[in-house]
Amino acid sequence: MEAQQKANFVVVPVHLFFLKSENGFDYMKQSILVLVSSVLSAIVAVMVYRWVEQPQQVIIRESSSATYATLGHDPLSDVPLRTFLSSAPTNFIASAEMVTSSVVNIKTIQSGNSFDFWGNSSYGTSSGSGVIISADGYVVTNNHVVDGGAKISVTLNDRREFGATLVGSDPSTDLALLKIDTDNLPFIRFGNSDSLRIGEWVLAVGNPFNLESTVTAGIVSAKGRSIDILEGQDRIESFIQTDAAVNPGNSGGALVNTNGELIGINTAIITRSGRYEGYSFAVPSNLVRKVIKDLRDFGVVQRGMLGVFIDNMTRERAESLGLDAIEGIYVTRVSPSSGADDAGIRKGDVIVGINGTKTRTVPEMQEQVGRYRPGNTITVEFIRNGKKESTKVTLKNKSNSTTLLASKEEDLLKELGVELQDLSDAEVKSLGKRGVRVLSIYRGSKIERTNMEPGFIITKVGEKRVKNIEDFIKTIRSAKGKIMLEGVYEDYPGEYYYAFALD
């Protein structure tokens, strides 16, 4: 009985193979025989299966990048498929290696006018990128990167740091030229931005925040873009638009093609969030080349002016003029005694080309004209009364002369924040007095704070009459303290007065 009770409490994993009866373990031996027989049968069955069935070979395929695409034909046409490198974007490697050592970090220290509780002056800093364009230390960047800087330093890709001198800057294109005292530097060669095509691969190379060079890739989305970010009546916004990522700190960096040639200076992005969203803009290299050459040779950009007020073509204008396409630049006004006036261009003409290059929009025309200096002659193609004509135009400066401006004169006008133009003989006769016309006023400048409006004609500086820009500059330079400007507006009666103080 005791043995039976113990047996009732035995639990084992293989309990299904044991047969239990009322008499305890009467069938134990029989159960063991059944178990052994089952195991032996299974072993024999496996051995027979392995002998009869041949083993199968399992192949695991690992993907690998092909060097060339397969030759063949498009199944939907008889046109042979082009042979090309399927890994063509890796050509970026060679381009990146060529240019990264030529892109630098630029740090600008700006002295402030505010003081803390202890009387210490506050300072601000800004950072951006720049591009070495010559072995002897010339560096191009954006004007907004170095604007207002009391001290500028340049850090090379190999982490060497140099103090930089500002050779000159041009707010109307947002470009600046720096010089560092060293030589044998790696530099980027200029490419031809005119040959750039929509959809072409490009690289944006920057050196933000001393992270060393950063490289991003994209394609050319558009050319001749204007996004209304620059100041001045003679501003030139004909940007190359790309989708290469450009973030804060990359301003002033290089936009290069897959040959490693400089085809633009990265300048701006359009964003709602403050971060990159797929729209970046660069100044074309052909315009950059002209601007920095002027800054190096003269310290100021020598801008040739066509002498016309212009607007983009609209559908209504195109229909009224009988034009087949809605493109070209509509001349709304011609400045008296300007190059355009001398060449016979009139209001209502539609400019369609400069030196054989089509000008479909205002930015495209501004870029083409902006490559020339006062005194240069260009060929202007235009449509008048449905017929295409052309004429030679000798460009002039803002003063309606072909002489080149001096850097000191330009610097003074920038300091005041104003662009001026001499009056023509016809304007002097109409007004009955001489003076200089205010073309545009920079935001945040001394002149803007007077609430003066563009179009104001300055006839006196203090008690002295001014006949032209040369008189104006000479009188301002000899003045001290508070200055009173007297003048008139053509469409409003009476005299107007604006005062400001020289520092």
Residues marked as catalytic: 144, 174, 251
Query: Contact 473/412 with Cβ under 8 angstroms?
Result: yes
List for the chain the helix, strand, coil content (%; round to 5): 25, 35, 40
Nearest residue to 416 (alpha-carbon basis) of 489, 485, 463, 464: 485
Q: Roughly how many angstroms between the first and final C-alpha of the chain, as a whole number?
A: 120
Q: 409: Cβ–Cβ under 8 A, 6 or more apart, which residues?
A: 469, 473
Rounded Cα distance between 327 and 61, Å, is: 56
- The two structure tokens encoding residue 480: 């001290």
Residue 374: other Cβ atoms inside 10 A: 21
- Where are the alpha helices (H) located in 152-308, listed in sequence order? 285-298
What would the two tokens of residue 402 be? Answer: 């072909």
The token pair at 455 is 């179009």
- Rounded CA gap, 230 and 443, in Å? 10
488 Cβ contact list (under 8 Å, min separation 6): 431, 433, 435, 456, 457, 459, 494, 495, 496
Residue 47 CB contacts under 8 Å (≥ 6 apart), including other chains: none
User: Longest C-alpha distance within the chain, in Å?
Assistant: 141
Task: Using DSSP, state whether 496 is helix, strand or coil.
Answer: strand
Across 123-162, b (16+ Cβ under 10 Å) vs e yields: eeebbbbbbbbeeebbbbbbbbbbeebeebbbbbbeeeeb
